[in-house]
Structure 1
């Protein structure tokens, strides 16, 4: 791994410590396992769902539609499969350091299609630390990446190389498999400016509600979903929570795409325990069914790009120094006074939505290229304040009440549930059309709040 500058390492350590302190008290981890699984659409908003009226994200000119970054659902490839190199025929899983080998082994699903022999010419086996199988769906995605969108996938790999050391360091702090870094390829091609039709934004495609749950700032001036470091820490916390909830990485990744509530309901309705089981049903969307195989295909190529004809190219790692700014300054004004290239400021600070530090007199840590910190600090007083144009008025909507579903446990009574969720007993009965006080374990009650 290339050596990073001291200030970057210091920044990583400080950010890691501050976020790690909060991560183990995160929304899922803070609840009991029964609470996390019983309340079907709580406590986390889905990454891939819509948000309520009045809670939509504003778009700014810097954003790039995700449709230009990711392939459409369902790769349709007509090229000759023989023109594409075969992936590893025998796949191994390496346990993570400081982790129980049995914990990860328990989460792996058997391959849908088990090859009978090793591919000719393969002298070494690639060792993965997440479940990777080679079935027709994965092979189809490999062909799609390698043919239909080859140029785009090559660009994704080049862009990821800038941030990969950073992501791997953060994932290591959370004891996550390093191969999960390739989830960002299928999410956004690690483009900080990518956004989807559902208003998911950033390299990890967070919805606004989920981002705020995991401590990211999202407002009219700053969108930390686009910050490569802070969004990666949030993604690590969320993936860790999903793994703790579902116990397998395929299910955790499916929940990352569809939301944990949808995956939990699919498992319950199908009486299933694995992603491969629910992927054979109509209980999850086609997009989610293809999401995990797409990740596997991206991982197989990214771990051995030369084998698939992609260059072993890389770009300068994400390095920076920080300058504390306590007033609104526009990138162009900073560039004019200090000589720091405007495009460099945009590249290092994609979370600043209006190309300027936020107003309000707060201390903001502006990232500048390595070697410019002293010069910027010396000339900062000469940079004129930036005056933001008035923000557009937001339409007012009535706030709708949200609903939760609770799975009845043995020993539960209406009185206990009423007190637990602070809902009047009469309201609980009316909302669930209950005429008898008898509850059966496994039934679901609608809980309003």
Structure 2
């Protein structure tokens, strides 16, 4: 089984895919290596995003799994990745890698077997755990030989092994090796929103270069201050970017936005005229509309000082109709981050002290997830 997949990944088509994966992975190599090394998990685990997405940061599967590690929305939220109107941290390579490492380490505590961890990453741990507890099977290969694994999982684990083997023997197999030093990035916490095009202009680089460092963002503007965010910049520019941020006017970006759903007959110029803002300002907050036609049902963002159009909603005011069951080890801070709110607001809504230890199993009011995504 493994030899079959080695031959597939070492074929001309497979080698082409591996070269493409390497190109996509290269800018993030230092970050990912640091996360994996500090976690203590085997480096071969990095074959997972090759098989899952071929390291496509913007990959989305038919089931809705997204990012290089292909997290479903429910799994991502369970690993404290933020998914809201402003960002999808499944596309943040460092955070999604940390989430994947956390999930794999959890599986290893269950199985003490990295092959079963990979199988669980693909198909979930429940069935595997039941089989192990029954004492019927000692490991992945026993389960595969007995034909009790789903076909996808049965192919998935040998592929992981094959990709890891081909990568480890790349030089011997004649695959090109990249000896260049990957770029270094720094993360700077923001106290307010900024436009990516303003940052790009200051750094004298393209907007796409800034976007490539911050792929989790849904728009060319960072989230409002009530949803904490750190911008990633080239490491050698960190000091001057920090200085530039301090020099920016505090009112350069509104702290509040309206979300407006496009209706039949709407045009950008008409929306701008109705809401009292310039077309240029409207485009600043909605870079995505530059890449296609305005579509009915599409959501665009308006700065908070715009006149509220019919059907718009205040993005800064989520409705607290959701419920969150506290898990062991969770705090107000970790839960607040998962729902893109501040710990202070979460504590106030739930009548808790900010430093209060939460009891596992207790229920907290949180913003309703679907509303937050609308």
TM-score > 0.5, shorter chain as reference: yes
CA contact (8 A) 2:66 2:90 kept: yes
- Correspondence for 1:214: 79
Counterpart of 1:390 in 2: which secondary structure?
strand
* 1:51-83: CA deviation from partner (whole Å, max 9, x where unpaired): xxxxxxxxxxxxxxxxxxxxxxxxxxxxxxxxx
**RMSD across aligned positions (CA):** 3.4
- Correspondence for 1:255: 120
* 1:364-423: CA deviation from partner (whole Å, max 9, x where unpaired): 2111112323433344416943767536599xxxx9xxxxxxxxxxxxxxxxxxxxx9xx
- Correspondence for 1:182: 47
- Correspondence for 1:431: none
Using the TM superposition, give the Cα deviation of residue 332 of structure 1 relative to its aligned residue in structure 2, in angstroms: 2.1
Q: CA 1:249–1:363 in 2, change beyond 3 Å: closer, same or farther?
A: closer
Q: 1:146 aligns with which of 10, 15, 21?
A: 10
CA contact (8 A) 2:110 2:129 kept: no
Using the TM superposition, give the Cα deviation of residue 161 of structure 1 relative to its aligned residue in structure 2, in angstroms: 3.7
- Correspondence for 1:355: 220
User: Highest relative contact order (Cα 8 Å, sep 6+), 1 or 2?
Assistant: 1
CA contact (8 A) 1:204 1:235 kept: yes
Counterpart of 1:322 in 2: which secondary structure?
strand
Where does the alignment leave 5 or more consecutive residues of structure 1 unmatched? 1-136, 400-420, 422-449
- Correspondence for 2:139: 274
* 1:262-308: CA deviation from partner (whole Å, max 9, x where unpaired): 32345568922211121134432211001111011101111121222
TM-score after normalising by structure 1: 0.53
Q: 1:203 aligns with which of 55, 68, 89?
A: 68
CA contact (8 A) 1:157 1:302 kept: no
2:28 equivalent to 1:163: yes
Counterpart of 1:371 in 2: which secondary structure?
helix
For structure 1, which segment, 304-313 or 378-387, has the greater mean C-alpha deviation from structure 2 after superposition?
378-387
1:86-97 to 2 correspondences below 5 Å: none
- Correspondence for 2:235: 370
CA distance in 2: counterparts of 1:371 and 1:167, whole angstroms: 19
CA contact (8 A) 1:142 1:301 kept: yes
2:207 equivalent to 1:342: yes
CA contact (8 A) 1:158 1:313 kept: no
* 1:246-277: CA deviation from partner (whole Å, max 9, x where unpaired): 12111111001101113234556892221112
2:95 equivalent to 1:233: no
- Correspondence for 2:173: 308
Where does the alignment leave 5 or more consecutive residues of structure 2 unmatched? 262-298, 300-310, 314-321, 323-360, 362-374
Q: CA 1:314–1:192 in 2, change beyond 3 Å: closer, same or farther?
A: farther
TM-score after normalising by structure 2: 0.63
CA distance in 2: counterparts of 1:352 and 1:209, whole angstroms: 19
